[in-house]
Amino acid sequence: MKIACIGAGYVGGPTMAMIALKCPEFVVTVLDINEARIAAWNSDELPIYEPGLFEVVKACRGRNLFFSSDAAKHVKEADVVFVSVNTPTKTRGIGAGKAADLSYWESAARMIASVSTSSKIIVEKSTVPVKTAAAIEKVLARNTSNPDVRFEILSNPEFLAEGTAVKDLEAPDRVLVGGKDTPSGQRAISVLRGIYEHWVPCERVISSNLWSAELSKLAANAFLAQRISSINSISALCEETGADVRQVSDAIGMDSRIGSKFLNASVGFGGSCFQKDILNLVYICESQGLSQVAEYWNQVVLMNDWQKTRFVDRVISAMFNTINNKKIAVLGFAFKKDTSDTRETPAIDVCKGLIDDGGLLSIYDPKVREEQVMKDLLTPKFQWDHPKTSETEFNKHLPVSVVGDAYEACKDSHGICVLTEWDEFRGLDYKRVFESMSKPAFVFDGRDLLDHAELRKIGFVVYALGKPLDPFMTRG
């Protein structure tokens, strides 16, 4: 069997690498129009960072795993074609700011139809709105010149968590395959199930109809983000009442009906999916006349935005209501630890808020490159996932330096903002850091990562999100 995947990003690359590892009899080719990205996949410095990913790629690459920009050739030869292209939020026209932009998916479908000389299974791997399969089926049917070529569309949403993607692929909670309840649809489902069942227990590979599978991905991300916004709302109340959000989350997390996952208060959620998928869900609900449902889910996003704004306000108010010309160290820029992904990271909005008040930022992240930080800070909202964004915007000057060492970031700073929960930040010599800073020296822990009592002993003024406020910071 030959498998092709259109899209060599955070989903397509790791997923295909795992399939190649577990199914050595299959030939798997990952495709992308971005030749620099393909070159990186073929090098020793992969375009994305995930623990364990390089080892998986290295074990298969050149044997039954290939990376290529020749999409037409490999799609034509493939039996199964996964499509894992961007589905960003629309920035103009109907649904701008909420609806998913399916132009990349449509382009992929047109290309598949134009080069195919044999029937194929087309697998939706991108996160898409409900009923996308029906639209794509029409595009495929109307752009195929050979009447003997048939396409069977399946929905196979990914449920990976960045930072643990390799583990999630190797031992998934479930694999969902959605298809039509027709003989050809059921045969296609069996083929895709057979691929995954090379290593996933059959009881964890579940089937549904197409629309349930498409909606399940949006609903899963909405539920996860809702939990984060819920505990973040409680973190604000904890600060005002003297409660400790960690103790509250531990208490409610011990309830077996609730569970402890996704109950860590933070400066906000990020990543490529949560906000985009919720806004997509909101738009779908509005389109179906379900205004109350739309408002309910939109509040999850609004709470997330407010949490980031609240954090910036705490920083500014604590530092005597101005950070103009004050150096602020930012520790962490990725949206979570163990990944280089900065898409929708809360650090973007926090940094922009600090810059707007005149702060001079010194940013350190162990896995995020300087050019990515600067691009993120200069890219307009919702434009990050649109590859054709004009590069002219990136020539603007920002009061930002990106450094290669946490101690350098902190030297001569007035305050430290911890925005990503990298383990290395726990192990810093904070006495050394304190001695190098302007006084009073502030720490604003947006991830509840550090030993706040020890920091206060050293002499820091500490703001710990969701914890009783430092007396230095209380009003009045």
**Active site residues per annotation:** 273
Residue 318: C-alpha distances to residues 375, 441, 461 (Å): 29, 11, 9
DSSP string, 189-218: HHHHHHHHTTTS-GGGEEEEEHHHHHHHHH
| 111 exposure class (CB count in 10 Å sphere: 0-12, 13-18, 19+) | middle
Q: Give the sign of the dihedral formed by CA 279, CA 306, CA 304, CA 337.
A: positive
Are 402 and 409 in contact by the 8 Å Cβ rule? The answer is no
Query: Measured between alpha carbons, how far is 376 from 47 in angstroms, rounded to an integer?
Result: 17
DSSP string, 265-316: --S---SSSHHHHHHHHHHHHHHTT-HHHHHHHHHHHHHHHHHHHHHHHHHH
Are 115 and 37 in contact by the 8 Å Cβ rule? The answer is no
Closest to 363 measured CA to CA, from 310, 400, 393: 400
Q: How many residues does the chain have?
A: 476
Which amino acid is residue 261, in one-letter code? K
Residue 86: count other Cβ atoms within 10 Å of its Cβ. Answer: 20
Q: Which pair of structure tokens corresponds to residue 439?
A: 């006084």
Q: Which residues pair with 2 in a beta bridge?
A: 27
Query: Measured between alpha carbons, how far is 372 from 343 in angstroms, rounded to an integer?
Result: 10
Buried b (16+ CB within 10 A) or exposed e, 8-35: bbbbbbbbbbbbbbbbeebbbbbbbbee
Q: Which pair of structure tokens corresponds to residue 449?
A: 């990562």
Q: Is it true that the peptide bond before 399 is cis, omega within 30 degrees of 0?
A: no
Q: Which residues contact 85 (CB under 8 A, 6 or more apart)?
A: 6, 7, 104, 105, 107, 108, 126
